[in-house]
Structure 1
């Protein structure tokens, strides 16, 4: 039987009609492949049919983009509102800031910046401690007229802890002064005077004690005695870094075998090692520049075996006594001049210039007043800044003699040569002491010692020993004026290899010393000399003078070697010449022997002439 047909208006017809309406209302989107095909030639009709659909899609994309832009603006506005809503950082007013201000003591500053004083690392700290103690001992002995006898001991307590002991035979220290000398920074007798000395700032030994306190917590121990029949005092003290004042932990009267002298013991964190920057090398160099001192050194490695190193003195003659001088007018600045006018005890300007400055005679003082147009009878404390400025300019325009040089004590050429010969075996030695000159009104002089040949290495850079007021400079060699002068000298002119901008190469030891009432160091650690043109020029002149002496020696040695080579070559053929003459002249053996000796004598005489 067949399936009965549905009457018109049935459910099937209605469903089909609805499907057709939906198809007309929502046309299908063309796929990407269909769109590409519609764009091809021959299918223009299809492309035209799909164009309305594209417009609708573009409109949809625009609406979507506008919605995204709107949401982004909302987010941005929301983020701005959130930033404004954040609480502000708490602030302080002027009164609160003023309450936080306080003084900083110099010891507190250097405790936080101890690298400025030479305590950068444990190795350098150990060397600096020894150096400061030895400097004080040598200065005290020389000032008291005592030939120095110094003992240095380094005892190793653990891997990184050492006890440094420095003992001298100097005049000792008065009991009341001991806490101030060892327990306060910037306290001393050398800062305010113009006179050659190793110490300048009043920082060194007290800074070493402060470093020991910071690293180990142990106090400095001092034993001192000022003379036979007087009591010896033993102190243990620390430095209060916040107040820059000493705190005495112990003060006793003890028995001490020495009649006079001082013994200092500092325990600190350090590192003992060899090499160029070692304590051993420093002791060797300090004995070279101080031939009048005997130094006994006990290093940590020798402590177990009871061994010690003794550097005997070359001479018992002390360095020449140096006098304190007044500042030279050329070396002061306007602010210093104004302060001197306020502090002077002189009643008028003329007497102030004569009494408070060196090399100012009555004639020079009158000339300065005349050029400055200031009355010679003017009271110094009443001088205004404009008048002081006029006086300062007048000083620069006036010819004034150089400062006296009896405030400087050089080592001397003879002692430099003796010290070099005791230090190193060489073929040639030379020494030069220049005449004193000035920089910024401060007198100074330069000395150079040179040793060449011997067993020194020939393919390495020259050994350079730098000194300032007889103290070796171990660090910052590249920043020093001495190094710049040595590397800037043309050593090729003196028959020595010289790479550009470096030290010369060869079997050479160069010792350079500057002596001055005020050495211009580059920092408080006193590791390098500042590069003033006047100082570098003097260094070069002294080096060139030593270089010329060395060149004369090397040329002479070269000439002697060449002549010896020629003589040996000729002497080789003298017997053959004698045999030929014997055959020609029919000489006997005796006459031939005489002839040989005569030819040798003639050759030797011609070579010497």
Structure 2
């Protein structure tokens, strides 16, 4: 029976013959054996078929053992440890007569393959007494020792299986890698908005330590200015930065605003996306309700310290001091301390945040931010103490608050389809026509009826009953019907007067000009663009950040807030590049800023500034916004070009005068000899003639480059046929009134209108002096000379 279950390998070595033995089990060295014998399971190919199969390299026959037998044997039993046969010893499972005897007996390097266990084979195998039970125990013991060794060496428990059957080990690993839907469902959970921004704080402007310090000061100052303006208080801001360690600072900002009620303090400073400005269409510095609470969260993450808030609402009420932390997992505030406090100021709020940061001067620093804030907010008084102990005061340049803005409703052109569907579902006890009039601005009964007619909807239908298809038709009709632009009383631009007052206070130049464009609309949101230019003066001496050989400096503002980062991504910067400054007397490389001592200020005022990110560092590139900025820059550029040409003429006239004065002594001496007159008298007369011919070199110009007579800017339109007595006409030769300064000289402001262009400007007239009459400023037209009449007669 045993002979029927075994076969000799007569066709050469098989795949099992080439398997290397385990070194730890004392296997014989590898090498081609003289002869080898294996136990062939049931179903193996016959020797005839093996002989017909083509051999592989080295005489290996792949069909000696079928893959099915290999898998079955690996699944049913583990491989027995290889045993080195000694001379004269018979391997188990082999008949004695099948192997040679003597010292040249072959060494078996492979474990024997057990025969397929059938009902007939089991009793015979038990009766044979071949020691199979002890072999199984040895295999189990070997597997156990291998698993222990694998755990010790860092290998997995499947290492023995991988050695015996790599395919099975790969299948087990693949099954472990597969994840079921139930496992995925168990991993799902809510993500708090504060938890998201704690991991992605770069979106809020906390990219690095230097920027984190600037963002913290910016958010606190913006909140203070907004609170003071809403309460109609002239802002007085105190900014103090104390350095506690090499990279640790404490930022303290205090204002004289209306204060904050006690129950609202934890939510305002300890909860993200909590505020009063997100749902209002009204010009304000803050919009999202993130800034100051995000600064407190950054301080908590970097130092572990709470944000300290002290607020007082009236002199008769006590102040309250809070220590607040933000729970990032729930986006909720945690009040660490709540106690009354004694303060010296009557009302206002003081915020103190400790954070890890870096302080440095120069561009994109806290110092630059405070300076630019003073330019855009000339009505604010700012006291600043830097970490180095330096104290600076930015005095108030205007005593008037910005005009109070009003909240407006959304415009139909600025609504989106999803928002419209939400508004229709929330509308109650109103008809469709009434809903359009109540929910949107500039929608009159006639416009509402026209919208319903074009959408083919009943004006008396209920908004909540309108289906999705009808809502889409209603939305398309709202975009197609011609509707008046939204109101602009929601905007509070800086104004030409205050804009020039602010830039003159901080920038030392010789020429200033500014303009404010009429309100425009983008996506239904009103906005207004303001531009100011400063040229020459100390900017050309190299004492400041801008010199004559460097590109112009661009200062960007959005709702009076300086934008210091991401300049190249901002629409304001791109609009400056769109202007061809070579037409205005400046050099400009292709695709770059103009070269020269020039400062360009760009301000955008809007109910909803389209920032490129939550950090509010750059204005998005909308065609309507970019067009308005370019037009405003071109308008100021024309004034700058007129000033540059006038200054150039003055330099040329001064050079001519120097040439005349150089030769006056010699000419006077020669004339005195010829005429016998006094030489000194001739010199005086020649000098008078030279000054008359070059009078433009002595012309005094105001800060906008316009000629001044007797300390007053010339502001009147020339009468028909007249010419300007002092100064030169605008390019092109047409006589016109000079542009006027705005808030640069002491005196009372008077509004003047250019009769030719219709431009309105602000004129500063000295106190107790009446403005000059047109007769004092302009000379009557000169009659045609006889020489011109004779020339016309010859041509005729």
TM range (shorter): 0.7 to 0.9
Counterpart-to-counterpart distance in 2, 1:183 and 1:139: 19
Is residue 497 from structure 1 mapped to residue 587 from structure 2 by the alignment? yes
Contact 1:346 1:380 (C-alpha < 8 Å) held by counterparts: no
Are the aligned partners of 1:428 and 1:453 in contact in 2 as well (CA < 8 Å)?
yes
Q: Is the 8 A contact 1:152 1:165 kept in 2?
A: yes
User: SS of the counterpart of 1:420?
Assistant: helix
Q: Distance in 1 between matches of 2:64 and 2:396?
A: 91
| Counterparts in 2 of 1:541 and 1:76: CA distance versus 1, 3 Å | farther
Q: CA deviation at 1:554?
A: 0.4
Instruction: Spell out the pairing of 1:132-171 with structure 2 (5 A cutoff).
Output: 132-171=219-258
> Which deviations, in whole Å up to 9, do the C-alpha atoms of 1:96-118 show, x marking residues without a partner?
32121111110011011111001
Q: Residue 267 of structure 1 aligns to a residue in which SS?
A: strand
SS of equivalent residue, structure 2 residue 279: coil
Offset at 1:427? 1.2
CA shift in 2, pair 1:567/1:327, >3 Å? same
Q: Does 1:411 align with 2:494?
A: yes
Aligned to 1:340: 423
| 1:320 pairs with one of 403, 407, 429 | 403
| Aligned alpha-carbon RMSD (Å) | 2.1
Q: What aligned pairs does 1:348-367 form with structure 2 within 5 A after superposition?
A: 348-367=431-450
From 163, 166, 172, the equivalent of 1:82 is 166
Give the SS at the match of 1:483. Answer: helix
1:239 partnered with 2:329: no
Q: Which residue of 1 aligns with 2:645?
A: 555
CA distance in 1, matches of 2:665, 2:184: 104
Name the CA distance, whole Å, in 2 between partners of 1:355 and 1:556. 56
Map 1:188-227 → 2, pairs under 5 A:
188-227=275-314
Q: Are residue 387 (structure 1) and residue 470 (structure 2) matched? A: yes
Residue in structure 2 matched with residue 3 of structure 1 by the alignment: none
Structure 1 stretch displaced more, 78-87 or 522-531: 78-87
Q: Which has the higher contact order (CA 8 A, sep 6+)?
A: 1
Equivalent in the alignment of 1:6? none
Unaligned 5+ runs, structure 2: 1-52, 71-161, 540-546, 697-796
Distance 2:677 2:564 in 1: 73
Residue pairs, 1:564-579, within 5 angstroms: 564-579=654-669
Alpha-carbon distance in 1 for matches of 2:590, 2:322: 54
Q: Of 186, 190, 213, which aligns to 1:126?
A: 213
The one-character-per-residue Cα deviations of 1:313-336 (angstroms, maximum 9, x if unpaired) are 101211110000000000111111
1:342 CA drift (Å)? 1.4
Say yes or no: does 1:104 pair with 2:104.
Answer: no
The number of aligned residues is 540
The residue aligned with 1:94 is 181
Partner SS, residue 477 of structure 1: coil
The equivalent of 2:506 in structure 1 is 423
Indicate which of 45, 57, 64 corresponds to 1:67: 57
- Specify every segment of 5 or more residues in structure 1 that has no aligned partner in the other structure, as ranges: 1-62
Instruction: Tell me, yes or no, if the aligned pair for 2:672 and 2:682 is still in contact at 8 Å.
Output: no
Length-normalised TM-score, structure 2: 0.66
- Paired with 2:549 and 2:64, the residues of 1 have a C-alpha distance of 78
Residue 255 (1) aligns with residue 338 (2): no
Tell whether 2:368 aligns with 1:285.
Answer: no
Q: Are the counterparts in 2 of residues 325 and 407 from structure 1 also a CA contact under 8 Å?
A: yes
Q: CA deviation at 1:209?
A: 0.5
CA distance in 1, matches of 2:58, 2:336: 79
Distance 1:97 1:536 in 2: 48
